[in-house]
Structure 1
Amino acid sequence: MEELLQLKQFLQQGKIDEALVIVDELEEMSLGDKVNKIDSYGVILLIHLIKQNAENRSTRSWQLSIENAVREINKINKRRKASGYYISKAELLDILEDGYEIAIKKAASEAFEGRYEAEELATMVDKEGILSQAIELIEQG
């Protein structure tokens, strides 16, 4: 809120360069918020894809979580007024890769009733295949 008041003040004073700096900061904060939300939903997506891959099965609950995560990622990433997306496919893949380690740890506590440690579960699944499947689901979403 403080940034908006300062922005208004700069515009009223005709300090365009200072106002543009604040606009850049606001854009960066907004994008950072979108990245954080996409990361959270991406981890949820990966957890369920990992469990599906490891256990070679699915449940309605897992499928609903996958569908919801994909829907939320696309909703957050879609530019409403301008066409296109905030975050590119390559950036999405980077976000998913960053979240993969926490996803494997969380999936290990759930898959096979928590019998395997994250490192063991990681050897049972195809990381690249799961990341590719996640991107594909997001693109189709």
Structure 2
Amino acid sequence: MEELLELRKLLQQGKVDEALLLVDELEDISLSDKINKIDSYGVILLVHLIKQQAEKRSTRSWEISIENASRELKKLNKRRKAGGCYLSSAQLREILQEGYQMALKRASVEAFEGRFEAEELESMVDKQMILAQAIALVQQ
């Protein structure tokens, strides 16, 4: 909030160049926040996709979680006024790949009642298939 007050002050003083620098900083903060939220929902999506593939089954709860996470990911990535997306397919894939190990750790606690470590669970699933499935859900 104080950044907006500073921006107002700079504009009122006619310091346009300084105001534009502050606008750039605010844009960076906003994008960083979106990326963090996308990462969080991406991990949630991956956890449930991993559990589905590993256990070769699904539950209504997992399906609802998958649907909610993919909906939130689409909503977060969509530029409302300018149109298009904040992140490209390649950038989304990179974020999902980076979050995959955390998702695997979380899934190992939940899948099979927590009987397997992340490394053991990893050998039961096809990482590339799960990542492709996640990307497809986000881009529908």
> Is TM more than 0.5 here?
yes
Task: Give, in whole Å, the separation in 2 of the partners of 1:82 and 1:67.
Answer: 26
- 2:96 maps to 96
Task: Provide structure 1 residue ranges, at least 5 long, that are not aligned to the other structure.
Answer: none
**What corresponds to 1:64 in structure 2?**
64
Q: Distance in 1 between matches of 2:5 and 2:117?
A: 51
**Aligned Cα root-mean-square deviation (Å):** 0.7
TM, length-normalised to structure 1 = 0.97
CA drift at 1:137? 0.7
**2 CA distance for matches of 1:3 and 1:138?**
33
TM-score relative to the length of structure 2: 0.98
1:75-113 Cα offsets, whole Å, 9 max, x none, are: 111111111111111111111011101100000011111
Amino acid at match of 1:117: E
| 4+ long deviations beyond 2 Å | none
1:15 is the counterpart of 2:15: yes
Compute the displacement of 1:9 (Å): 1.2
State the one-letter code of the partner of 2:132: S
What residue number does 1:114 align with?
Answer: 114
CA distances 1:104-126 after superposition (whole Å, capped 9, x unpaired): 00000111111100010011110
SS of match in other structure, 2:58? coil
Distance 2:137 2:80 in 1: 21
- Give the 3-state SS of the residue equivalent to 2:82 in structure 1: coil
Aligned counterpart, 1:3: 3
Corresponding position of 2:36: 36
CA distance in 1, matches of 2:56, 2:84: 35
**Residue-by-residue CA offset, 1:4-57 (whole Å, 9 max, x unaligned):** 111111111111110011000100111111111111100000000000110111
Q: For this pair of structures, how many residues does the alignment match?
A: 140
Gaps of at least 5 residues in structure 2 are none
- Aligned-pair identity in percent equals 69
